[in-house]
Structure formats: C-alpha cells, structure tokens
C-alpha cells in the first residue's frame, strides 16, 4: 500500500507549460499573408522566364516521362484516397438486404384425430406460402468529441504534404535539367 500511494500521487502532478521559443520566426514565414501571391503563382514554371525553347521542351518532356514524378503523383493520389477512406467511416453506415421465397404445400392425407376432442384438426392446409423479408440497417456515430475534425485535419495535412513533395520534386527536376543544359552550353 505504501508503494501505491506515491504512484497515485505522481499521476496528479501538474507540469508547467513549456517556455516560449527563444528564436523569433520572421513574419514572412509565420503566416500566409497573401501579399506575395504573384510570386507564388510564378514559382511552378519559373523556367519560362529564360525564354529558351530548348529548355522549355526538355523540361516539358521530363515532366511527362519522369518516373520520380509519377511516383510522387501516385503518393498524392494515395493520400487523397486515404483521406477519403478515413472520413468515410464517420458517414452513415449500413446496407439494404432483401430475400424472398415461395413454398407450395399440398396435403396428401387428412386430419389428425386427437382423443378427447370431438373435432378433427387439419395437419397442414393446402396452398402456396410466399415470404418476403427486407431490412435497412443504418448506423451513424454522433461525433461529440470532434474525432472527425481531428481526422480530417491529420489527413488533410498528409495530402498537403504529399502535394508539396510533388511540387518540390517537379521544381527539383526542372532545376536539374536547367543546370545540366546551362552547364553543357557553358
């Protein structure tokens, strides 16, 4: 008992908040202010600024045929599918089921005579019995604690990361081609 009490009390200790960062983050990197949208729009195809048709043709061919870019594009598609699958479990779940059957019953013999009963009781009635059953079972989890939003945030971050990696691979490939072309010309 004396060993359990310190362990229980240790779980009740409150840890202070961590100290603030000592290195200030420049405002340029701290938040998306939207001031440099023209520069961000020009970044994906920066090589057009050289007005070099050979460079444009080499990069265009590489962007189509590069196995590395196909790999990162597949990763983007995978991240999109993973996000869709992760969020789909919070949607209503269920399905429709139906079945039908028919049975034709024909009685070949008569009645059952039970002792102490003045009336004959028929065993089975002649005719066709049809049975139809259907079910529509739906369940839906009410998200009280925000698990769907947290899952969407994490999955969205993974998609965003995959898209940034694809853009970085594309820019890196274009830079390597431009570097090689200009080195060959020099």
Q: Is the pTM of this model over 0.75?
A: no
Q: Count the Cβ atoms, other than its own, within 10 Å of residue 133.
A: 9
How much is the pLDDT for 86?
A: 87
- Counting residues of the chain whose pLDDT is more than 90, the rounded percentage is 15
The answer to whether 51 and 39 have CB atoms below 8 angstroms apart is: no
How much is the pLDDT for 77?
A: 93
Q: Count the Cβ atoms, other than its own, within 10 Å of residue 73.
A: 16
In the chain, where are the structural domains located? 44-91+142-186, 93-139
Q: Which of 19-28, 44-53, 59-68, 81-90 has the lowest mean pLDDT?
A: 19-28
Q: How far apart are CA 25 and CA 22, in angstroms?
A: 9
Q: Is 63 exposed, middle or buried (0-12, 13-18, 19+ CB in 10 A)?
A: middle
């Amino acid at each position: 008992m004396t060993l359990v009490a310190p362990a229980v009390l240790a779980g009740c200790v409150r840890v202070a908040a961590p100290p603030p960062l000592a290195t200030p983050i420049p405002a340029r990197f701290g938040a998306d202010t939207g001031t440099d949208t023209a520069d961000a729009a020009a970044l994906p195809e920066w090589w057009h600024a050289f007005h070099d048709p050979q460079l444009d043709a080499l990069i265009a061919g590489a962007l189509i045929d590069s196995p590395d870019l196909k790999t990162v594009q597949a990763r983007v598609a995978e991240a999109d599918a993973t996000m869709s699958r992760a969020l789909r479990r919070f949607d209503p779940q269920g399905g429709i089921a139906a079945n039908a059957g028919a049975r034709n019953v024909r009685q070949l013999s008569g009645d059952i005579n039970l002792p102490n009963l003045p009336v004959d009781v028929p065993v089975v009635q002649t005719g066709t019995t049809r049975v139809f059953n259907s079910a529509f079972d739906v369940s839906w989890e009410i998200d009280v604690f925000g698990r769907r939003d947290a899952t969407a945030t994490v999955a969205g971050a993974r998609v965003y990361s995959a898209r940034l990696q694809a853009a970085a691979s594309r820019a890196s490939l274009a830079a390597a081609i431009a570097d090689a072309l200009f080195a060959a010309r020099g």
